[in-house]
Structure 1
Amino acid sequence: MIQLVLQGLVAFVFLAAGVFNLAGMMTEEMVRLGYPGYFTTIIGVAYIIGVICIYQPRFAFLQDWAFGAMAATLVGAAGTHILIGDPISSATPAIGTLAALVATYALRGRFRED
């Protein structure tokens, strides 16, 4: 049960971020962080595809890749905030989401039927 709640939380965060990126609501922040403006479109699409992949039941390797890509994205997000000199509190949402993602992945392994 806790795995489903955590997975839902992670999916919500990535889906919302994907929609915000595609709507152009994150462009200014991404540019401030040093990324080109068009990166928001790329990352927005990737986030939404990642959410779809973690919920599709047929191909376990797609789920694994999505979890890995999400983890890399969250590490990159936290690292970017820290490296440009933002306060550590700016990286806290990414670190918290990463903790939920890792817990989801770890709990998922217990119930998987490969």
Structure 2
Amino acid sequence: MSDFAEVSRVGRYRGIGYWVVTVLVVVESGVGGLWDIARVQFVRGLIVDLGYPTYFLVLLGIWKLLGAVALLAPGAGLVKEWAYAGAFFVYTGAIVSHLTTGYERGEVIVLLMFTALTIASWALRPPDRRACSDEVHGRS
């Protein structure tokens, strides 16, 4: 197999991996955002048990929905960077909240999984979905 064919195959798998993990993050953010805005009873109970005010759900839900849209939209690399940062802060903040309050510590594993998926999506994103591509800086 030629070097070009090998690079092409790796790039294709990287692209598939990117879209798989990104869709998982987008679905979780989108559904979670809708649940937050609707103040679904389960989510409201969770947020109250963690010590947050219920109005925080609407704010968090709007941010999650905007982040999900940003991750799917073409271009807008800088906005995507903010969306990744926001998702990372949401998941890691939830981890700390669960650990410090002792509430549903078993959920920490799921939160760690979504943190890892967010990092994987960020790391696998193609150059046209980055804030500043490597080609602009002369790196290959």
TM superposition score normalised by structure 1: 0.92
Structure 2 partner of 1:49: 66
Structure 2 partner of 1:19: 34
Structure 2 partner of 1:33: 50
Structure 1 partner of 2:6: none
Query: Aligned equivalents of 1:49 and 1:36: distance in 2?
Result: 21
2:121 is the alignment partner of 1:104 = yes
- Unaligned 5+ runs, structure 2: 1-15, 134-140
Query: Aligned equivalents of 2:34 and 2:21: distance in 1?
Result: 20
* Structure-2 change in CA distance of 1:59 and 1:22 (3 Å): same
Cα RMSD over matched residues?
1.1
| Deviation (angstroms), 1:87 | 4.8
Work out the percentage of aligned pairs sharing the same amino acid.
Answer: 23
Query: Aligned equivalents of 1:5 and 1:90: distance in 2?
Result: 22
TM-superposition CA deviations, 1:23-70 (whole Å, max 9, x none): 111222101110001011111111000001111222110000100111
Would you say how many aligned residue pairs link Structure 1 and Structure 2?
Answer: 112
Larger Rg: 2
